[in-house]
Amino acid sequence: MSTSLSIEKQVAIFAVRRACLLTSSVFNKLVKNETLTKEDKSPVTVGDYAAQAVVNTILKRAFPHDPIVGEEDADDLKRDPILTKRVVELANEALQSDLVLGEMPEWGIGPGQEKSTEDLLSAIDQGNHLGGHNGRFWTLDPIDGTKGFLRGGQYAVCLALIVDANVKLGVIGCPNLPCNPSDPDGEKGCIFVAVHGQGAQQMSLSGANPTPVVIPEIPSGSLNFLESVEAAHSDHSFNERVSNILSISRTPTRMDSQAKYCCLARGDGGVYLRMPTKAGYKEKIWDHAPGTVLIEEAGGTVTDSRGLPLNFGLGKTLGENYGVIAARRDIHGKVLDAVQQAKAIEEGEIDQAKI
Ligand SMILES: Nc1ncnc2c1ncn2[C@@H]1O[C@H](COP(=O)(O)O)[C@@H](O)[C@H]1OP(=O)(O)O
Ligand SMILES: [Mg+2]
Ligand SMILES: [Mg+2]
Ligand SMILES: [Mg+2]
């Protein structure tokens, strides 16, 4: 591993880019029976499986010794020969498209690199690492925000490299996100990249125009919350209470996926707040690792509601769920205080009338 992670960064960008092109093209062709429902009732589409097959194929060729913690496995898919055939078609199409400058055929990509069904199912299952505190591994969410993807909204292809529980590199591809927030109808599709200690960048899906990303100062009157569309994923009424404590009057921006972290990183919204809606759900490392390094490198802080950093060394999950708060470094403390005050009110420790 080079200390600058320049090779890892390039490979991760190319892998995420190919997966983004795949998911954008599959969306337009997706038909209803190309989606399965997982045991936890969440949806998974041929796009999720094919994107995981593509990214894992590239990672395993470029870094054969690196384990991968991926969201999906191929168990349900293997029981459905029609969906399997579709995933193989989609993954091969994405892997075999022409090489762009910097891509290497040794990564298993480019014309003529057709993979068998067995190769691709096994590539999906190579995301079976369990994570943990020691060593180096990748974590992948091939489509983060599958519900957003299905409704034509925001979703993201998310990849991170974790070394000894620290997130060293994060790449988030957002095929539906406008490149320029002040031109929402303009070009869509951008990739956000952050390397620990080296800053953050945004570039177009083609890799063009890489520009540094730094969270701008936002006057407190103009702050707003970035929150999930799904009311089951984060507690909207809690966010409203925190907004009131902070005298935030702007309505929250609701958006699926880690695109929220990307918007926060470029100042397109001021606070990411995700508090659990019910006991029992544990946040997954692939849902927060790329977003965390992006925010930290763009000048922000990410903690749970106790003010502690997220722990990426516990396995596939972040452990007991204390929520997630992300904001620019200088306002994070203020938001954390407001969250703790709102929690205390909720728990009945403070009489609301006294504050
Ligand atoms: N009860 C829940 N609480 C928090 N996050 C959840 C919950 N159920 C699913 N998720 C995850 O939230 C992520 C999307 O978040 P957002 O609401 O910010 O778009 C998905 O990765 C989804 O996981 P999954 O992929 O397993 O469905
Ligand atoms: Mg996800
Ligand atoms: Mg997913
Ligand atoms: Mg999912």
The pLDDT, as a whole number, for residue 138 is 98
d(CA 262, CA 298) in angstroms, rounded, equals 10
* 98 has pLDDT over 90: yes
Other beta carbons within 10 Å of 281: 13
DSSP characters over 293-342 = HHHHHTTEEEE-TTSPPP-TTSSSB-SS---EEEEEHHHHHHHHHHHHHH
d(CA 117, CA 139) in angstroms, rounded, equals 23
In terms of Cα–Cα distance, which of 250, 229, 228, 225 is closest to 239?
Answer: 225
Ligand 2 centroid, distance to 129 Cα (angstroms) = 17
d(CA 238, CA 228) in angstroms, rounded, equals 13
Ligand 2 centroid, distance to 351 Cα (angstroms) = 37
Half-sphere exposure of 220 (CA within 13 A, CB side): 10
Q: Are strands 68-70 and 136-144 parallel, antiparallel or unpaired?
A: parallel
- Edge-to-edge strand ranges of the sheet holding 225-227: 253-254, 225-227, 271-274, 324-328, 300-303
Question: 38, 39, 40, 42: which to mutate for ligand 1, most atoms within 8 A of CB?
Answer: 42
Average pLDDT score, the chain: 95
289 pLDDT band, cuts 50/70/90, is: very high
CA dihedral angle for residue 47, residue 48, residue 49, residue 52, rounded to 10 degrees? 110
Other beta carbons within 10 Å of 225: 27
* 23 has pLDDT over 60: yes
E strands, the chain, where? Answer: 35-37, 43-45, 68-70, 136-144, 156-163, 166-178, 188-195, 199-204, 211-212, 225-227, 253-254, 271-274, 300-303, 324-328
pTM to 2 decimal places: 0.96
Find the catalytic residue in 45, 48, 235, 304. 48
129 pLDDT band, cuts 50/70/90, is: very high
The pLDDT, as a whole number, for residue 354 is 58
Question: Could you confirm whether 75 is annotated as catalytic?
Answer: no
What average pLDDT does the segment 116-139 reach? 98
The pLDDT, as a whole number, for residue 2 is 58
DSSP characters over 188-238 = EEEEEEEETTTEEEEEETTS-S-EE--PPP--GGG--EEE-S-TTTS-HHH
Question: Could you confirm whether 144 is annotated as catalytic?
Answer: no
Find the catalytic residue in 23, 139, 146, 301. 146
Sign of the four-CA dihedral 103, 108, 113, 117 = negative
173: three-class secondary structure by DSSP:
strand
Does any ligand 1 atom lie closer than 6 A to the CB of residue 281?
A: yes
Residue 258 Cα: closest atom of ligand 1: 18
ipTM above 0.90, yes or no: yes
Ligand nearest to the CA of 52: 3
d(CA 49, CA 33) in angstroms, rounded, equals 14
Amino acid at 137: F
Ligand 2 centroid, distance to 83 Cα (angstroms) = 21
Amino acid at 220: S
The pLDDT, as a whole number, for residue 353 is 56
